[in-house]
Amino acid sequence: MISSQKTAVELALESQGPIPKGVLAYLSARARGRWFDYVHNKLTEAENEGLTRKALAERIGKSPTRLSHILGNPGNWTIDTVSELLIGIAAEEVIPNSDPLLGHPPRNHRPEDDFLTHKFSKSKSSATARTLELNLN
Amino acid sequence: MSSIIAWFKTLDSPFARIAIRLFGAALPLFNGRMLTYMSTEAILQAAVQRGDLCFLPLQVPSDAVSRRLLLHPEIVSALARGLEIPRMFQLQGELEDYVLGRHMTLAFEPRHHKKARLGLLEPEADGIWDIRCRHHSPGIRVLGRFFEPDCFVALEWRPRSVAIEGFDKVPLSEPRSGDEWEFAIVEVIQRWDKILPGAGYITGVTHSDFVTENSSRAGA
Residue from the list A22, A28, A33 with its beta carbon closest to the beta carbon of B83: A22
The C-alpha of A79 sits at a distance from chain B's nearest C-alpha, in angstroms, of 15
Q: Tell me whether B9 touches chain A (CB under 8 Å).
A: no
Q: What is the DSSP letter of B81?
A: T
Which has more confidence, A35 or B23? Answer: A35
Q: Which residue has the higher pLDDT, B11 or B78?
A: B78
Which residues in chain B have Cβ-Cβ distances shorter than 8 Å to A105? 62
Q: Residue A130 and residue B45: Cβ atoms within 8 Å?
A: no
Distance CA B81, CA B58 (A): 14
For A11-50, b/e burial (b = at least 16 CB within 10 A) is ebbeeeeeebebbebbbebbbbbebbbbbbebbeebeeee
Most confidently predicted of A117-131, B4-18, B95-109, B163-177: B95-109
CB atoms within 10 A of CB B20: 24
Band the pLDDT of B54: cuts 50, 70, 90: very high
Contact B58 A7 (CB under 8 A): yes
Number of C-beta neighbours around residue B109 at 10 A: 13
User: Euclidean distance between the first and final Cα of chain B, in Å?
Assistant: 43
pLDDT of residue B37: 58
Split at pLDDT 50, 70, 90, the class of B133 is confident
Query: Which chain A residues contact residue B63 at CB under 8 A?
Result: 107, 128
Kindly list the residues from chain B whose CB atom is less than 8 angstroms away from the CB atom of residue A53.
220
What is the pairing mode between strands B54-55 and B68-71? antiparallel
Contact residues, chain A, for B90 at CB < 8 Å = 22, 25-26, 28-29
A95-127 per-position pLDDT tens digit? 999 989 888 888 766 666 665 444 444 444 333
| Assembly ipTM | 0.80
* pLDDT tens per residue, range A25-83: 999 999 999 999 999 999 999 999 999 999 999 999 999 999 999 999 998 899 999 99
Cis status, amide bond into B123, omega within 30 of 0: yes
pTM given for the model: 0.82
